[in-house]
């Protein structure tokens, strides 16, 4: 398989150029002004699939942003790999913290990526990682061809909850039928330590609107006589965790699967350096639920975080005002057995119960999704493990990630197949943050590992059927 490596090395500049073209398109799914950019990104991906000779390439319309589909069925007796990824990206704010335009990709060396990293919104999440699959397909097709059937489904709404993909999947079960789903939209432990993600947290996203007096008031004339919505909101938020940093919503933990001692032991073997963790994000101490390690808090325990809070006067200088309203956006990360709709309603009920006299509350339930756990005793996992070992000369660890890809649990429910999460991002890549980047070598090694997965998978599939 040296020839794959050689081909990737020889074509690396073109691969990067092609990726740059995609990264230049500001396909921010959350911003309606970028609607046409979203479509341009979808069209460009479709062009790539067409050029590779995939069949039935199409832009599938949805009520929101379109889904790109393409397939190559070489033999119905062979297994089918369904590749999923997303071409939409997160908004860029705060724009002033970017060193350059987020949609003018460039390569710069970093401490962690001495060979260079690609800086651009979406470089890692997920255009760069998704594009590795397109290039892996090219690598295979330029050599002996693909050893199994492949279907591509690339969506444009992952960062806003995948609501329309959910409908698409439910309506196209036959078209999407597969033996394994392959996704690169997660991370690995470090540059030299590969890992396969076997868990994702679920998500429940909420918004609060607290209303007090019918208008902003003079904070001298009225201060001390009415419930200030921001004071009340702060009180409510503060009460959502107890002194052990456990979430206080009644029933919140009822269904959480407690981890076994064996699982905890396994987790403790995963290389994790607390000092590096703290250093990398500039904090002087870790923080979290009593009785669990940082890596456990990040992966197998639920969390509740305020994502944004606003209200009152925030412009220059001071204005003595007692605001009429206060707002907060709150996300809860969920672990196996917690159901996001159930958690959302427990949250809503609790918030209503703790709303102080003198203000009223409106709770808005945004999107959500179920957590996912992947077994490790499958040929899909084995194939991925072999592919990583082949490329990185090290057996990958199985890790659980704290992030969410809500559609993965739905795939399992609707398509009855497991997903292998082969992510190549690093925690330091700053996804969703200013100066997002992706290591050039992560990109290239990812292409190689993915190509090898196909051969491993079809081999194991054959011997197991
Ligand atoms: N690729 C991420 C999820 C991710 C990142 C998983 C790192 C594991 C490690 C994905 O694009 C994402 O950002 N998901 C959102 C949820 C979505 C519904 C907005 C998230 O986790 O916040
Ligand atoms: Mn992603
Ligand atoms: Mn994301």
**Mutational pocket test of ligand 1: of 403, 430, 438, the residue with most ligand atoms within 8 Å of the beta carbon:** 403
CB atoms within 10 A of CB 251: 13
Residue-level pLDDT at 446:
98
Dist CA 386 CA 392 (whole Å):
10
Within 293-439, residue ranges assigned H as helices are 294-299, 340-354, 379-392, 407-415
Residue-level pLDDT at 465:
78
Query: Which of 370, 371, 302, 308 shows the shortest CA–CA distance to 332?
Result: 302
Centroid of chain to Cα 101:
23
CB atoms within 10 A of CB 234: 16
Distance between Cα 322 and ligand 3 center (Å) = 37
Strands 303-311 and 325-334: antiparallel
Instruction: State the closest ligand 1 atom to the C-alpha of 161, by its place in the atom list counted from 1.
Output: 18
Cis status of the peptide bond prior to 94, with omega within 30 of 0: yes
Dist CA 239 CA 257 (whole Å):
24
Q: Is the pTM of this model over 0.75?
A: yes
Residue-level pLDDT at 1:
67
CB atoms within 10 A of CB 267: 20
**Ligand minimally distant from the alpha carbon of residue 86:** 2
**Mutational pocket test of ligand 1: of 130, 132, 404, the residue with most ligand atoms within 8 Å of the beta carbon:** 404
Using CB distances shorter than 6 Å, the residues near ligand 1 are 125-126, 158-159, 161, 185-187, 200, 203, 367, 401, 403-406
Instruction: State the closest ligand 1 atom to the C-alpha of 197, by its place in the atom list counted from 1.
Output: 8
**Mutational pocket test of ligand 1: of 159, 299, 367, 406, the residue with most ligand atoms within 8 Å of the beta carbon:** 159
Distance between Cα 441 and ligand 2 center (Å) = 19
Dist CA 259 CA 313 (whole Å):
45
Dist CA 230 CA 325 (whole Å):
7
- The torsion region of residue 254 among left (phi > 0), alpha (psi -120 to 50) and beta comes to alpha
Cis status of the peptide bond prior to 126, with omega within 30 of 0: yes
Residue-level pLDDT at 244:
98
Within 125-204, residue ranges assigned H as helices are 127-142, 163-171
Percent helix, strand and coil across the chain, each to the nearest 5: 35, 25, 40
Calculate the dihedral angle through the C-alpha atoms of 435, 438, 441, 443, rounding to the nearest 10 degrees. -150
Indicate the angle between helix axes 440-464 and 379-392, nearest 10 degrees: 140
Distance between Cα 125 and ligand 3 center (Å) = 5
Distance between Cα 405 and ligand 1 center (Å) = 5
List, in order of start, the domains of the chain with CATH numbers. Answer: 2-200+371-464 (3.40.630.10), 202-256+302-365 (3.30.70.360)
Contacts of 415 (CB under 8 A, 6+ apart): 82, 169, 173, 176, 177, 178, 181
Dist CA 465 CA 460 (whole Å):
9
Distance between Cα 155 and ligand 2 center (Å) = 11
Instruction: State the closest ligand 1 atom to the C-alpha of 402, by its place in the atom list counted from 1.
Output: 8
Dist CA 69 CA 421 (whole Å):
20
Whether the Cβ atoms of residue 202 and residue 371 lie closer than 8 Å to each other: yes
**Ligand minimally distant from the alpha carbon of residue 403:** 1
CB atoms within 10 A of CB 208: 22
Q: Tell me the pLDDT of the chain (465 aa) as tens digits.
A: 689 999 999 999 999 999 999 999 999 999 999 999 999 999 999 999 999 999 999 999 999 999 999 999 999 999 999 999 999 999 999 999 999 999 999 999 999 999 999 999 999 999 999 999 999 999 999 998 999 999 999 999 999 999 999 999 999 999 999 999 999 999 999 999 999 999 999 999 999 999 999 999 999 999 999 999 999 999 999 999 999 999 999 999 999 998 899 989 989 999 999 999 999 999 999 999 999 999 999 999 999 999 999 999 999 999 999 999 999 999 999 999 999 999 999 999 999 999 999 999 999 999 899 999 999 999 999 999 999 999 999 999 999 999 999 999 999 999 999 999 999 999 999 999 999 999 999 999 999 999 999 999 999 999 987
Distance between Cα 145 and ligand 2 center (Å) = 28
Residue-level pLDDT at 255:
97
Query: Which of 158, 151, 166 shows the shortest CA–CA distance to 80?
Result: 151
Residue-level pLDDT at 89:
98
Instruction: State the closest ligand 1 atom to the C-alpha of 368, by its place in the atom list counted from 1.
Output: 18
Dist CA 347 CA 351 (whole Å):
6
Dist CA 320 CA 239 (whole Å):
27
CB atoms within 10 A of CB 334: 28
Strands 117-119 and 372-373: unpaired
Angle 74-76-77 from CA coordinates, rounded to 5°:
110
- The torsion region of residue 208 among left (phi > 0), alpha (psi -120 to 50) and beta comes to beta
The residue whose CA is least distant from atom 16 of ligand 1 is 404
Distance between Cα 28 and ligand 3 center (Å) = 11
């Amino acid at each position: 398989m040296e020839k794959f490596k050689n081909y990737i090395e020889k074509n690396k500049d073109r691969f990067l150029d092609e990726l740059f073209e995609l990264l230049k398109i500001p396909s921010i799914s959350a911003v309606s002004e970028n609607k046409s950019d979203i479509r341009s990104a979808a069209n460009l991906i479709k062009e790539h699939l067409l050029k590779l000779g995939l069949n039935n390439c199409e832009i599938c319309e949805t009520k929101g942003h379109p889904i790109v589909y393409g397939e190559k069925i070489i033999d119905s007796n062979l297994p089918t790999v369904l590749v999923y990824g997303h071409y939409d990206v997160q908004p860029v704010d705060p724009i002033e913290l970017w060193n350059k335009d987020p949609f003018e990709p460039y390569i710069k060396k970093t401490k962690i990526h001495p060979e260079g990293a690609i800086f651009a919104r979406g470089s890692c999440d997920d255009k760069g990682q998704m594009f590795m699959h397109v290039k892996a397909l090219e690598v295979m097709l330029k050599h002996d061809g693909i050893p199994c059937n492949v279907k591509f489904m690339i969506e444009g709404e992952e960062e806003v909850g995948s609501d329309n993909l959910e409908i698409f999947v439910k309506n196209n079960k036959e078209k999407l039928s597969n033996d394994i789903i392959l996704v690169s939209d997660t991370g690995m432990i470090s540059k030299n330590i590969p890992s396969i993600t076997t868990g994702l947290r679920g998500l429940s996203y909420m918004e609060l609107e607290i209303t007090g007096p019918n208008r902003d008031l003079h904070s001298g004339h009225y201060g001390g006589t009415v419930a200030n919505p921001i004071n009340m909101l702060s009180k409510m938020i503060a009460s959502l965790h107890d002194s052990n940093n456990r979430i206080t919503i009644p029933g919140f933990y009822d269904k959480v699967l407690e981890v076994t001692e064996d699982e905890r032991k396994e987790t403790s073997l995963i290389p994790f350096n607390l000092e590096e963790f703290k250093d990398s994000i500039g904090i002087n101490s870790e923080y979290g639920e009593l009785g669990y390690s940082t890596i456990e808090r990040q992966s197998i325990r639920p969390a509740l975080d305020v994502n944004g809070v606003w209200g009152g006067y925030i412009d220059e200088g001071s204005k003595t005002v007692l605001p009429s309203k206060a707002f907060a956006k709150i996300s809860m990360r969920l672990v196996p057995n917690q159901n996001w709709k159930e958690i959302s309603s427990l949250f809503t009920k609790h918030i209503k119960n703790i709303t102080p006299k003198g203000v009223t509350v409106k709770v808005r339930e945004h999107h959500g999704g179920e957590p996912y756990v992947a077994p490790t005793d499958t040929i899909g996992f084995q194939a991925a493990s072999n592919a990583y070992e082949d490329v990185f000369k090290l057996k990958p660890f199985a890790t659980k990630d704290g992030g969410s890809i809500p559609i993965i649990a739905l795939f399992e429910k609707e398509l009855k197949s497991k997903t292998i999460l082969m992510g190549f991002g690093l925690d330091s890549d700053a996804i969703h943050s200013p100066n997002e980047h992706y290591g050039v070598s992560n990109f290239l090694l990812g292409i190689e590992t993915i190509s090898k997965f196909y051969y491993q998978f079809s081999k194991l599939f054959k011997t197991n059927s």
